[in-house]
Amino acid sequence: MNTPAVPAVASVLFVCVHNAGRSQMAAAFLTHLGGDRVQVRSAGSAPADAVNPAVVEAMNEAGIDISAETPKVLTVAAVRSSDVVITMGCGDACPYFPGKRYLDWQLDDPAGQGVAAVRPIRDEIERRIRGLLAELGIESVA
């Protein structure tokens, strides 16, 4: 059985509306766990001014500092240069290119939530990131 080759460095783009919560957590976990075997991007269809402070706090609890991250606008170039595009509630705002692998992760939105509500979202994202690494054949570095 022939399976498509995974590039030496896979490229993954996480997209949500504001790029202030879910996509930031996913990008941080993939960067932390994937090391230099994966290129990670995140963006939003309508980026917020700053990353959600409760998300920053929840990620700090997991040992990952995202306090310096800023929401970024989704570009066609970012989608085009990614092997895998994972959407998180951005609906039809995400451009589609044939040949890309698209996944849609249904996750609660942490916007307006306190850190207690963000923790289970964070933990679910980490679980999915570990699964994604396994699917890509990339061993977790942590």
Q: Is the pLDDT of residue 2 over 50?
A: no
Six-digit token pair at 9? 């460095």
Are 20 and 71 in contact, with CB atoms under 8 Å apart?
yes
Percent of the chain with pLDDT over 90: 74
Backbone angles phi, psi at 44, to 5 degrees: -135, 150
pLDDT at 20: 95
pLDDT at 7: 54
pTM listed for this prediction: 0.91
Q: Is the pLDDT of residue 5 over 60?
A: no
The residues annotated as belonging to the active site are: 16, 90, 94
The residue type of 41 is R
pLDDT in tens, 82-106: 999 999 976 666 667 788 899 999 9
pLDDT in tens, 51-78: 999 999 999 999 999 999 999 999 989 9
| DSSP conformation class of 66 | -
